[in-house]
Amino acid sequence: MQRIDRRAEYTALVGMILQLICFGLFLILFKVNNSAATLGESFHFLAGVGIWALIFIELYQARLASQQRIEIQDLEKQKLQRFGGSESVFQGYSPDEELPMERRLRILRKWFVPIIAVIIALLHVLFAARLLPGWWPTNWLSDALETQPAKELGTLSIVVGVAFVCFVMSRYSLGVSKIPASRALRAGANYIMGNALICAALAVTLALANFQTYMPEKILAKIIPIVLIVLAVELILNLIMDIYRPRIPGQEYRPSYESRLLGLFCEPEGVMRSIAHTIDYQFGFRVSDTWFYQLLQQAIAPLVLFGVVTLYLMSTLVIVRPGQEAIVLHFGERPNSVLKEGLHFKWPWPIDVARIYPVDKVHQIVIGFTGQINWFNPEKATAPILWTVKHVTGKEFQLLVASKDLESHLKSSAKANKGNSQAKKSGKDLSPVSILAGAIIIHYNINDNSLIDYVANYKEPKAMLEAIAYREWTRYMASADPMGVMATQRGRLTATLKKSIQAQLDKNHSGIRIIRVALVGMHPPIDVADAFEAAINARQERETLIWKAKGDANEKLPKAKSEAAEIISSAEADRYAKVTIEKAKATRFKDQLASYQYAPNVFFMRKYLDMLVDATQKIRKYILAVKHPEKVLLIVDDKEKLPAGLLGLGEQVQQEVEKQK
């Protein structure tokens, strides 16, 4: 019995396995060289697995259909040879009738292939979205775009080898697809040829990166997802055109998932012949036989050559716009002159390479965290930014700040507890530093007449600026007050940082001029923010109690001091009065004693009379100067005694005179 050649199926399996192996290999290479283009090509390889799987399924079903048709024909021949009859052993089947396996193949091509092709197109778009920076990039891609490829020479040879293997696989698959039953293999040959071309471009960019030219690798990393999108769009368009294209009996089947664009580079007949076959297939007649197409085919080569030469000669022109300056690298050597705005001439690429820089443009870098932040996007910053809520997608840079509380605590403990081991132990329990996190915005541009320093002295001026900014920021915060930098000392911090960063940049001949340094956030880390707020609240409560105690002291101490002074003054007056009186009494006693000793009778009489005066001071007295007072008749006048002076006015006059004084 005749068998169908299964080389096409084996080729499809090998192609699918090769795509998977290359996917894993390029992921490993990405981890080694950190190249965004290598990551993109790994996704490109993964997207091609579905193409080869679909080819294998279609070839397998086509083989079963052909095998069934051959088996029926063989059985019919055997029957004719044995019995000489003319009737088929399979009643109900004619030579032109569709067999079950052929019906399955038709249904597979009508429904299964378009559905899977749409899924493959969606996977291409999904992979492209994960590889484009502005869409839905992976974290690997974001990190790779911010850095430069490493170990280029080590991975370059592997990439070249993969490109060669893919090219050989494409040529072999294309050769097998010449068999009419294996026509579907051409789709895989075209796709893996696209992998080979991008691997070749990747090898070139890695070779340029070895000479510190990283821009082609960054550009290729953005081209690969665009290629995936173009392939997805082409696949959908092929499905639509395959539905509406005219059907010609006996025309060769061409699957909708076969890329016509990649076929331009894969077909051995050349690009123009591939275009002709594509147009003939889509329109249903031989457009390539028309006179216009024949004329275009004859003139296309000179036109393309003229365009290529013209484009190459345009590399001798350098146009510098206002606000820009340019330098020319002659065989990669250090430039010695700067091109100002205007039109300039140079040697063609790659002898001379011109690089244009916007010297007047103000650049911005934000340091202090990784990832993204909501501070600069008012639409996303819908809620207040709190210490206790994470507001960045990455990690925050933590700074060590000297603890002023520890210093004051140790000083007070040393004074109050000299030689006390327990006090020393309590001081050791406190952290010697505080930890703060924040973000700083730095605006800068290229300094006047310093473009050569900016270009030639440093491979990555932005990375150098970030390193200096982090170092100066860390150095300043080591001696700063935590509460000060979070509140009242921000202006001093930004002014000092601007001055110190600019000094280091000038010292290192960086060619960068700092325009502005702005501190947009300074706060404790999120893990300790709650404890920090509790400590601040306790500190504020302590300050409140201290000031309240000071107020009470200012109110009560002066009053207590005045009362104490009053009591002391009263006591001093009493003491003075008593001491003086007693001294006077003692002096009077001495004088009385002397008087008594000198004239006792007189002293006695005077004391006696003084006693009578004191005893009868408030008693009205009458003096009778007669010999026989008992014979005198006393008439008591109980009227009030007139005051002294004329008509009793003497005392009142005396009081008025004293008041006037």
What CATH number is attached to the domain comprising 437? 3.30.479.30
Structural domain ending residue among the three candidates 188, 223, 257: 257
Final residue in a domain of this structure, among 524, 546, 579: 524
| Judgement on whether residues 368 and 352 belong to the same structural domain of the protein | no
Last residue of a domain, one of 189, 223, 257: 257
Residue 482 domain flag: yes
Predicted local distance difference test score (pLDDT) of residue 2: 45
Q: Return left, alpha or beta for 449; rule: phi > 0 is left, psi -120 to 50 is alpha, else beta.
A: left
Listed in order, strand segments (DSSP E) in 510-607 are 512-523
Cα–Cα distance measured from residue 33 to residue 349, given in angstroms and rounded to the nearest whole number: 27
Reference 509, options 472, 457, 470; nearest CA is 457
Q: What burial class does residue 488 get, using C-beta atoms within 10 Å of its C-beta: 0-12 exposed, 13-18 middle, 19+ buried?
A: exposed
Instruction: With respect to residue 295, please indicate whether it lies within any of the assigned structural domains.
Output: no
Domain membership of residue 108 as a residue range? 7-84+97-257
Q: Are residue 54 and residue 185 in the same domain, yes or no? A: yes
pLDDT of residue 425: 47
Quote the pLDDT of residue 470.
86
Domain count along the chain: 4
The answer to whether position 283 is within a domain reads no
Q: Are residues 573 and 513 in the same domain?
A: no
**Torsion angle (degrees, nearest 10) of CA 424, 430, 433, 435:** 180
Place of tokens 């076969």: 258
pLDDT of residue 40: 82
Please, what are the averages of pLDDT over each run of 10 residues along the chain (661 residues)?
A: 68 88 86 80 85 85 77 71 54 61 76 83 84 72 66 76 87 80 81 87 81 77 85 84 64 71 64 58 58 62 76 84 84 78 83 84 83 60 64 71 58 52 47 72 86 81 87 82 73 85 87 85 72 76 89 86 88 88 85 83 83 79 72 65 51 60 53
Closest CA to 462 of 214, 153, 150: 214
At 70 the pLDDT is 73
Pair 325, 249 in one domain:
no
Whether 219 and 104 map to the same domain: the answer is yes
Would you say residue 556 lies in a domain?
Answer: yes
Please give the pLDDT value at position 92: 45
Check residue 474 and give its pLDDT.
83
Q: Is residue 177 in a domain? A: yes
Residue 288, pLDDT score:
57
Q: Do 28 and 170 belong together in one domain? A: yes
Contacts of 224 by beta carbon, 8 Å cutoff, 6+ apart: 37, 40, 41, 43, 44, 131, 198
* pLDDT reported for residue 384: 65
Q: Give the model confidence (pLDDT) of 506-550 as tens digits.
A: 888 888 888 888 887 777 777 776 777 777 788 788 889 999 988
For residue 285, tell me if it sits in a domain.
no
Same domain for 180 and 212?
yes
Say what the pLDDT of residue 186 is. Answer: 83
Residue 455 lies in a domain: yes
Residue 513 and residue 562 in one domain: no
274 within domain boundaries: no
Same domain, 502 and 581: no
Q: Exposed, middle or buried: residue 222 (CB in 10 Å: 0-12, 13-18, 19+)?
A: middle
Helix (H, G, I), strand (E, B) or coil at 614: helix
Q: Could you tell me where the beta strands, DSSP code E, fall in 493-541?
A: 512-523
Residue 371 and residue 356 share a domain: no
For the stretch 641-654, what's the b/e string if a residue is b when 16 or more beta carbons lie within 10 angstroms of its beta carbon?
A: eeeeeeeeeeeeee
pLDDT given for residue 524 in this prediction:
74
Tell me: do 25 and 163 sit in the same domain: yes
- Name the phi and psi angles at 279, rounded to 5: -65, -45
- pLDDT, residue 427, reads 45
Q: What separation in angstroms does the CA of 47 have from each of 163, 195, 371, 410?
A: 17, 11, 28, 66
192 and 322 part of one domain: no
- CB atoms under 10 Å from CB of 116, counted, come to 18
Which amino acid makes up residue 308?
A: V
pLDDT of residue 417: 52
Supply the pLDDT for residue 271.
Answer: 52
